[in-house]
Amino acid sequence: MKLNILLSPGGLIDYSSGIVIPFVPTRIIQNWEDWVKPMSTINEVMDRKGGTVLTIKSDVSVLDAIRMMSEANIGALVIQDAEQPVGIFTERDYLKKIALQGRSSSDTLVGEVMSAPLITVGSGESTRVAMETMTECRCRHLVVLHKDSMVGIVSLGDLVKHLLQDKEEEVEQLSQYIAGSY
Residue 50 φ/ψ, nearest 5 degrees: 95, 160
Are 11 and 20 spatial neighbours (Cβ–Cβ below 8 Å)? Answer: yes
Q: Report CA 174 to chain centroid distance, whole Å.
A: 25
- 167 versus 74: the higher-pLDDT residue is 74
Same domain, 123 and 97: yes
Same domain, 69 and 21: no
> Is residue 27 domain-resident?
yes
Are 55 and 83 spatial neighbours (Cβ–Cβ below 8 Å)? Answer: no
3-class secondary structure, 1:
coil
> Is residue 29 domain-resident?
yes
> Is residue 84 domain-resident?
yes
What percent of the chain shows pLDDT beyond 70? Answer: 78
Same domain, 30 and 49: no
Same domain, 48 and 15: no
Predicted confidence band of residue 144 (pLDDT cuts 50, 70, 90): very high
Predicted confidence band of residue 15 (pLDDT cuts 50, 70, 90): low
Number of domains present in the structure of the chain: 2
> Is residue 176 domain-resident?
no
Domain extent, residue 69, equals 43-160
Are 110 and 65 spatial neighbours (Cβ–Cβ below 8 Å)? Answer: yes
Residue 2 has pLDDT above 60, yes or no: no
- How far is the C-alpha of 10 from the C-alpha of 13, rounded, in Å? 9
Predicted confidence band of residue 134 (pLDDT cuts 50, 70, 90): very high
The CATH number assigned to the domain holding 126 equals: 3.10.580.10
> Is residue 78 domain-resident?
yes
